[in-house]
């Protein structure tokens, strides 16, 4: 039981950092396109921050996404796997925010990206990283 707690904490921290980094990169590229006079349809700079700054909302939602990505099989993971799965959950959250914005899906609270997408990452990661029956073990 303690392993699951540690895995979820580690996965959440890596999910938050990876989501923050990916959203910062997306924001930076969007602002470069806007400054060059081009439109940036794939990324809404308003949702990513008013400039190329790091925002607390992306960090918090990335932490939740990383925790959810690891929580699916947290008791069955080794400790070194949780940063990988947590970071994958954070990256999936950040990328899916940009994808849904590109298709003009209105989700201002980003609930689906924060909870639904990392849950799918958790299902896939459990298939690969389970200690007893995973494909890599």
Q: In this predicted model, what pLDDT tens digit does every residue of 78-97 receive, in sequence order?
A: 889 999 999 999 999 999 98
What is the per-residue pLDDT for 41?
Answer: 53
Report if residue 85 sits inside a domain: yes
This prediction has a pTM of: 0.84
40, part of any domain: yes
Higher pLDDT, 83 or 73: 83
Q: How many domains would you assign to the chain?
A: 1
What is d(CA 98, CA 8) in angstroms, rounded to the nearest whole number? Answer: 25
Measured CA to CA in angstroms, residue 6 lies from 2, 110, 135 at distances of 6, 26, 23
| Within-domain flag for 137 | no
Say if CB 88 and CB 119 are below 8 A apart. no
Residue at 13 is within a domain: yes
**Domain-located, residue 136:** no
pLDDT above 80: residue 26: yes
């Amino acid at each position: 039981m303690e392993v699951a707690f540690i895995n979820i904490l580690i996965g959440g921290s890596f999910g938050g950092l990876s989501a923050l980094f990916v959203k910062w990169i997306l924001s930076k590229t969007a602002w470069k396109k806007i400054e060059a006079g081009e439109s940036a349809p794939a990324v809404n700079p308003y949702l990513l921050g008013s400039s190329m700054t790091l925002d607390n909302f992306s960090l918090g939602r990335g932490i939740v996404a990383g925790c959810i990505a690891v929580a699916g099989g947290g008791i069955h993971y080794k400790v070194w796997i949780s940063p990988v799965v947590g970071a994958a959950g954070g990256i999936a959250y950040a990328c899916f925010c940009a994808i849904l914005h590109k298709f003009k899906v209105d989700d201002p609270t980003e609930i689906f990206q924060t909870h639904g997408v990392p849950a799918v990452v958790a299902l896939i990661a459990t298939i690969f990283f389970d200690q007893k029956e995973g494909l890599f073990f």
